[in-house]
Amino acid sequence: MILLRSHIGTALRAARIEQGRTLRDVAKSARVSLGYLSEVERGHKEASSELLNAICSALDLSLSTILLDVANVVRAHETPLVTLQVVETAA
Amino acid sequence: MILLRSHIGTALRAARIEQGRTLRDVAKSARVSLGYLSEVERGHKEASSELLNAICSALDLSLSTILLDVANVVRAHETPLVTLQVVETAA
């Protein structure tokens, strides 16, 4: 099952890693506990809208950037795999 | 402040209204209480990822469709207004 919180967590974690920052650093900047941020990143906890804003702000990312990322990943997961079958026919 | 839950609620409500459906109908189909759906639509309650999926499914909408809608609305809210000032200069 596609869960929004998992994809949001993955996107936030990827952004933090890309910036070479620690959980402790981002948690402090967002004024959330390290344990909370870790749970959010792992998709174990739903971030409230207010704390999602705080985390995005700590990462210097707009909420829409994260949402667009997540929407695209979710769309890719939703798209059913298409299997092409080449059928040889006699000429 | 831009709150994700408000924009998700607005998008869900707009989709329901567009389909000419009642809160009762969608709540029943999503197996959530009418009060819960109403609170989510008004942005008063954060929908859990599981219940968001159930509501999207009841509305026959993919999660990515809602997220893209919301991302675009949030982006529009984030974009600062640009004021153009025409300054007349002596030729």
CB B2 to CB A70 under 8 A? no
Selection from B24, B2, B26, B4 nearest residue B15 by Cα: B26
Q: What is the DSSP letter of A84?
A: P
Q: Is residue B12 in some structural domain?
A: yes
pLDDT at A89: 72
Distance of CA B16 to the CA centre of its chain: 11
Selection from A32, A44, A33, A36 nearest residue A3 by Cα: A44
CB A63 to CB B74 under 8 A? yes
Give ipTM to 2 decimals. 0.84
8 Å CB contact between A39 and A6: no
Q: Which residues contact A25 (CB under 8 A, 6 or more apart)?
A: none
Could you tell me which residues of chain B have a Cβ less than 8 Å from any Cβ in chain A?
Answer: 1-6, 46, 48-50, 52-53, 62-64, 67-68, 70-72, 74-75, 78
Cα–Cα distance for residue pair A6/A3, rounded to 1 Å? 5
> Residues A55-85: pLDDT tens digits?
999 999 999 999 999 999 999 999 776 666 6
Structural domains in chain B (count): 1
Q: Is residue A17 in some structural domain?
A: yes
Q: Is residue A88 in some structural domain?
A: no
pLDDT at B82: 64
Give the other-Cβ count within 10 Å of B76's Cβ.
Answer: 9
Give me the CATH number covering residue A45. 1.10.260.40
Best interface-test mutation with A: which of B51, B64, B65, B73 has the largest number of A CBs within 10 A? B64
Q: Is residue B90 in some structural domain?
A: no
CB B63 to CB A5 under 8 A? no
8 Å CB contact between A55 and A29: no
Lowest-pLDDT choice from A21-25, B55-59, B84-88: B84-88
**Mean pLDDT, chain B, integer:** 92
The separation between the first and the last C-alpha atoms of chain B, rounded to the nearest angstrom, is 45
Which whole-number Å values give the CA distances from B80 to A65, B74, B77, in the listed order? 15, 12, 8
Q: Is residue B88 in some structural domain?
A: no
Q: Is residue B37 in some structural domain?
A: yes
Residue with tokens 């344990």: A35
> Residues B9-51: pLDDT tens digits?
999 999 999 999 999 999 999 999 999 999 999 999 999 999 9
Q: What is the DSSP letter of A48?
A: P
- Supply the range of the domain harboring residue A62: 4-78
Q: Is residue A19 in some structural domain?
A: yes
pLDDT at A79: 74
Q: Which residues contact A85 (CB under 8 A, 6 or more apart)?
A: none
pLDDT at A4: 96
Residue B84 has pLDDT above 70, yes or no: no
Q: Is residue B23 in some structural domain?
A: yes
